[in-house]
Amino acid sequence: MSIESLASVEVARFIASRPSPEQVIAFQPSSEVVERAYELIEIERARALTEDERRELDSYLTIQHIMILAKAEAHRQLQQQAS
């Protein structure tokens, strides 16, 4: 399974589990996803990525951006609850 698929499935399963704000903040991708992302970054440093590799890395970066936004929202919700 590509990182694109694996990362998407991981996040979809996580969202489907109806996580608490604390769980959203604590969410981390699997080591397999992280290792593949770093591998693609290293490949990119050495040479141009293929179209498939570029699509795979871009997909991961998009998922990562969405999770950053979700974590920021979870922090906001927790601060609002504490007020």
Dump pLDDT digits (tens) for 50-59: 999 999 999 9
In sequence order, what are the residues at sequence separation of 6 or more whose Cβ sits closer than 8 angstroms to the Cβ of residue 55? 4
* This prediction's pTM: 0.87
Domain boundaries, the chain: 3-82
Dump pLDDT digits (tens) for 12-69: 999 999 999 999 999 999 999 999 999 999 999 999 999 999 999 999 999 999 999 9
Structure tokens at 9: 């499935």
